[in-house]
């Protein structure tokens, strides 16, 4: 479980200071799927980065299974990410000089996951093991980044606009695939998006505006991307 | 203007190279021109012999130093242009997409020549500050008549103006060549990775750990970085070993001057190369750290692959400087029918240089890697 308590974050100083997060608190229970929804500049990505240990808050705490990761030294924070966290980014961030197999292996080796090729098969890239990122479409690259994140068996998966760079159909496939996997494997998932239409695929929707949580609502029944007509 | 003078300011390494090259070349060429004016006044055969020897030595030093440094500067300049285009490809791609022609963009690269001009002008000025002492040292055995120090404007043209123009033109032409890629390719940044042909026949190597594969792949796929770090090690060995070998063939003052310049050049080149290698791999290191690889694992996988290449560069640089010295001695001094100075490979200098190289390389790597580590992960990953 992740408990974010009274976290604030400001970028810049003096006249250029911008408050990205203002005293935000949020709990991510085990096995839930939370969507952080908001316009650009609402603070959702900052909250995701702080919850995942990519950034430190200026104040407040981020407790993960009883440990305040905001207070951990770099070395232990790295170990935390290694053991517990998976990331999927809008820009994929695949290593361009490694093929699909090796990019996924990057995540798998951290968890000692020798069976990572099953995940590559599952994301539909079994026949593209030896292709390099530059030889893949955007949707395929995103699926590689999904496989890479899942191959390290994360306890929490953080997704930053995972469908932002994809076309509608591919985005729908990717969302449904991740949603199904999350249900099957039971890890927690926090996804940032500005697309209000996809909120219904999550257990909880957190709406943000100007660095604050303005609304939080649960969905009784999660829907697929196809069901919500996205 | 697309490239700003601020970007050219980053080329301080080139300025230092040019400063050293022009400083040495100006001192010797100016003294050679001045000495040519007094040759008619020399009647004593011993003095004439000494005059010819000093002139030959000047020709050799200018040719070796100027030539080697000019070549080094060309390589570094081309590398910088390529590196600039690689790191700013999306902006350049957008400009192309907006309708800027390759020539229009490439023309902005002329400012890279400013670094050459700055270094050369300072080197020229510095030479005139040192020349009174240099002229006095030449006359120390009182065999040669008094040689008045004169300002020879032709040298400004050959050593400052023309190199600056030539390097500006080179930067423009090379950038134009590198910009000949579709705008979209530049924006997406999809073309700078060498892709290994996929193995489809099932004859794959047994699975190696990811970090080992990454190490091999990093070195194989970044040819320009590999070449640059190799070249820097090569230059380091050539400059430092040659500097320490100079006392055997030149005066004490020149040996000290050459050693100082050699060390400055060697350290500068190595520093530029190491920082470029780390910057060039910063994103990969950041990605590995995001996923939870430790700093030690990142260094082992990404940076240690370059180490053997530097050793090879150092060995070849040492051999090269020895060959160059032998060739230069026989070409310039030998032609004047003067006895060749006693010169042999300086093992001691080579070993000391190697130890200093290893220490310097490791210090630069560690200090700069620590500096990169202090930059927030988000910042490294988001910078495009």
**What domains can you pick out in chain A, each with its CATH number?**
29-58+73-218 (3.40.50.300)
Residue B199: inside a domain, yes or no?
no
Clarify whether residues B130 and B226 are in a common domain.
no
Residues B83-113 as b/e (b if ≥16 CB within 10 A, e otherwise) read bbbbebbeebbebbeeebebeebbbbbbbbb
Q: What is the pLDDT, as a whole number, of residue A3?
A: 94
Cβ atoms < 10 Å from Cβ of A136: 19
C-alpha to C-alpha distance for B164 and B129, rounded to whole angstroms? 22
C-alpha to C-alpha distance for A90 and A149, rounded to whole angstroms? 13
- How many helices (H) and strands (E) in chain B? 18, 0
pLDDT at A173 over 50: yes
3-state secondary structure of A38: strand
Retrieve residue B348's tokens.
């001691």
Question: How many domains would you assign to chain B?
Answer: 2
Q: What residue spans of B139-182 are helical by DSSP H? A: 153-156, 162-178
Q: Distance of CA B353 to CAs B109, B261, B264, B363, B366, Å?
A: 36, 14, 13, 15, 20
Question: Are residues B292 and A102, on separate chains, in Cβ contact within 8 Å?
Answer: no
Question: Are residues A82 and B292, on separate chains, in Cβ contact within 8 Å?
Answer: yes
What's the domain range around B164?
A: 1-193
C-alpha to C-alpha distance for B64 and B47, rounded to whole angstroms? 25
Query: What residues of A are in contact with residue B373 (Cβ under 8 Å)?
Result: 74
Clarify whether residues B185 and B306 are in a common domain.
no
Query: What residues of B are in contact with residue A98 (Cβ under 8 Å)?
Result: 213-214, 217
B291: closest CA of chain A, how far (Å): 6
A200-213 mean pLDDT:
90
B285: closest CA of chain A, how far (Å): 10
Backbone φ and ψ for B29, nearest 5 degrees, come out as -70, -40
Residue B198: inside a domain, yes or no?
no
Cβ proximity of B170 and B111 under 8 Å? no
B367: closest CA of chain A, how far (Å): 17
- How many contacts does A have with B, using Cβ atoms within 8 A? 84
A139: closest CA of chain B, how far (Å): 15
Backbone φ and ψ for A223, nearest 5 degrees, come out as -115, 160
Q: Name beta bridge partners: A9.
A: A21
A203-212 mean pLDDT:
92
Clarify whether residues B155 and B211 are in a common domain.
no
Closest chain B residue by Cα to residue A83: B292
pLDDT band at A174 (very low <50, low <70, confident <90, very high): confident
Clarify whether residues B225 and B340 are in a common domain.
yes
Clarify whether residues B317 and B175 are in a common domain.
no
Is some CB atom of chain B closer than 8 A to the CB atom of A100?
Answer: no
Please give the model's pTM, rounded to 2 decimal places: 0.72
Domain limit, last residue, from B148, B166, B193: B193
Total count of residues recorded for chain B: 384
Residue B285: inside a domain, yes or no?
yes
Retrieve residue B174's tokens.
């090379």
Q: What is the pLDDT, as a whole number, of residue B366?
A: 85
Clarify whether residues B9 and B123 are in a common domain.
yes
Segments in chain B below pLDDT 70: 1-10, 140-141, 189-207, 246-255, 328, 331-343, 378-384
Q: What is the pLDDT, as a whole number, of residue B384?
A: 47
Domain limit, last residue, from B146, B167, B193: B193
Q: Closest CB to B291: pick one of A81, A98, A131.
A: A81
Cβ proximity of A69 and A61 under 8 Å? no
Residues A5-36 as b/e (b if ≥16 CB within 10 A, e otherwise) read bebbbbeeeeeeeebbbeebebebeebbbbbb
Query: What residues of B are in contact with residue A113 (Cβ under 8 Å)?
Result: none
Residue B33: inside a domain, yes or no?
yes
Mean pLDDT rounded to a whole number for chain A: 87
Residue with tokens 């290698």: B277
Q: What is the pLDDT, as a whole number, of residue B251?
A: 65
Question: Are residues A135 and B209, on separate chains, in Cβ contact within 8 Å?
Answer: no
pLDDT one-digit tens code per residue, A94-121 = 988 889 999 999 999 999 888 899 889 8
Residues A78-111 as b/e (b if ≥16 CB within 10 A, e otherwise) read bebbbebbbbbbbebbbbbbbbbbbbbbbbbbbb
Residue B332: inside a domain, yes or no?
yes
Clarify whether residues B183 and B40 are in a common domain.
yes
Domain limit, last residue, from B130, B158, B193: B193
Which residues fall within 8 angstroms of residue B272, CB to CB, at 6 or more apart? B13, B76, B232
pLDDT one-digit tens code per residue, A124-154 = 889 999 999 988 988 889 889 999 999 999 9
Question: Are residues B191 and A130, on separate chains, in Cβ contact within 8 Å?
Answer: no
Pick from A110, A170, A160, A169: nearest CA to A138 = A170
Clarify whether residues B185 and B214 are in a common domain.
no
Query: What residues of B are in contact with residue A95 (Cβ under 8 Å)?
Result: 214, 284, 287
Q: What is the pLDDT, as a whole number, of residue B193?
A: 52
Clarify whether residues B113 and B149 are in a common domain.
yes
Clarify whether residues B171 and B285 are in a common domain.
no
Cβ proximity of A64 and A104 under 8 Å? no
Total count of residues recorded for chain A: 230
Clarify whether residues B210 and B168 are in a common domain.
no
pLDDT one-digit tens code per residue, B236-252 = 888 788 777 766 556 66
Clarify whether residues B266 and B312 are in a common domain.
yes
Q: What is the pLDDT, as a whole number, of residue B221?
A: 80
Whether this model's ipTM surpasses 0.90 comes out as no
The least confident of A8-17, A60-69, B7-16, B34-43 is: B7-16
pLDDT one-digit tens code per residue, B56-109 = 777 877 777 777 778 878 888 888 888 888 878 888 888 888 888 889 899 988
Residue with tokens 């004047």: B336
Residue B10: inside a domain, yes or no?
yes
DSSP strands (E only) in A53-185: 59-64, 67-68, 85-89, 156-160
């Amino acid at each position: 479980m992740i408990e974010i308590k009274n976290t604030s974050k400001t970028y810049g100083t003096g006249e250029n200071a911008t408050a990205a997060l203002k005293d935000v608190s949020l709990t991510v229970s085990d096995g839930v799927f939370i969507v952080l929804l908001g316009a650009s500049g609402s603070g959702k990505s900052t909250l995701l980065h702080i919850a995942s240990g990519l950034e430190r808050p200026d104040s407040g705490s981020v407790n993960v299974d009883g440990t305040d990761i905001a207070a951990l030294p770099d070395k232990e924070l790295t170990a935390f990410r290694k053991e517990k966290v998976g990331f999927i980014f809008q820009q994929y961030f695949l290593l361009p000089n490694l093929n699909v197999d090796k990019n996924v292996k990057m995540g798998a080796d951290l968890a000692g996951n020798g069976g990572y090729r099953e995940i590559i098969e599952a994301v539909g890239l079994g026949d593209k093991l030896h292709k390099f990122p530059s030889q893949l479409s955007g949707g395929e690259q995103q699926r590689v980044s999904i496989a890479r994140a899942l191959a390290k068996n994360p306890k929490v998966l953080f997704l930053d606009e995972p469908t932002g760079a994809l076309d509608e159909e591919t985005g729908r496939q990717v969302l449904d695939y991740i949603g199904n996997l999350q249900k099957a494997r039971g890890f927690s998932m926090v996804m940032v998006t500005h697309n209000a239409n996809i909120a219904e695929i999550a257990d909880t929707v957190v709406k943000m505006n100007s660095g604050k949580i303005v609304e939080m609502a649960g969905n009784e029944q999660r829907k697929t991307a196809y069901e919500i007509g996205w | 203007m697309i490239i700003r003078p601020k970007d050219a300011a980053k080329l301080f390494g080139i300025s230092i190279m040019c400063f050293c090259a022009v400083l040495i070349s100006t001192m010797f060429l100016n003294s050679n021109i001045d000495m040519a004016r007094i040759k008619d006044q020399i009647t004593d055969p011993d003095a004439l012999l000494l005059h010819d020897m000093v002139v030959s030595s000047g020709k050799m030093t200018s040719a070796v130093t100027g030539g080697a440094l000019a070549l080094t500067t060309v390589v570094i300049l081309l590398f910088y242009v390529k590196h600039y285009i690689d790191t700013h490809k999306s902006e350049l791609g957008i400009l192309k997409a907006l309708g800027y022609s390759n020539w229009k963009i490439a023309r902005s690269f002329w400012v890279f020549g400013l670094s050459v001009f700055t270094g050369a002008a300072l080197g020229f000025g510095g030479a005139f500050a040192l020349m009174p002492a240099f002229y006095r040292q030449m006359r120390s055995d009182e065999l040669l008549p008094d040689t008045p120090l004169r300002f020879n404007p032709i040298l400004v043209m050959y050593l400052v103006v023309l190199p600056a123009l030539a390097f500006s033109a080179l930067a423009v032409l090379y950038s134009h060549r590198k910009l000949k890629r579709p705008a979209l390719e530049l924006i997406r940044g999809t073309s700078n990775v060498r892709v290994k042909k996929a193995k489809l026949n099932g004859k794959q190597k047994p699975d190696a750990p990811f970090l080992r594969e990454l190490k091999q792949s990093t070195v194989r796929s970044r040819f320009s970085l590999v070449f640059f770090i190799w070249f820097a090690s090569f230059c380091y060995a050539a400059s430092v070993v040659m500097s320490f070998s100079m006392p055997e063939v030149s005066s004490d003052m020149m040996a000290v001057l050459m050693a100082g310049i050699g060390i400055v050049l060697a350290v500068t080149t190595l520093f530029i190369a190491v920082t470029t290698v780390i910057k060039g791999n910063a994103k990969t290191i950041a990605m590995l750290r995001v996923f939870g690889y430790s700093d030690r694992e990142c260094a082992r996988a990404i940076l240690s692959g370059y180490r053997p290449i530097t050793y090879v560069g150092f060995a070849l640089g040492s051999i090269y400087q020895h060959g160059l010295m032998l060739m230069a001695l026989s070409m310039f001094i030998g032609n004047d029918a003067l006895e060749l100075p006693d010169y042999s490979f300086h093992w001691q200098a080579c070993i000391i240089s190697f130890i200093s190289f290893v220490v310097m390389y490791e210090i630069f790597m560690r200090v700069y890697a620590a500096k990169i580590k202090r930059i927030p992960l988000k910042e490294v990953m988001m910078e495009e």
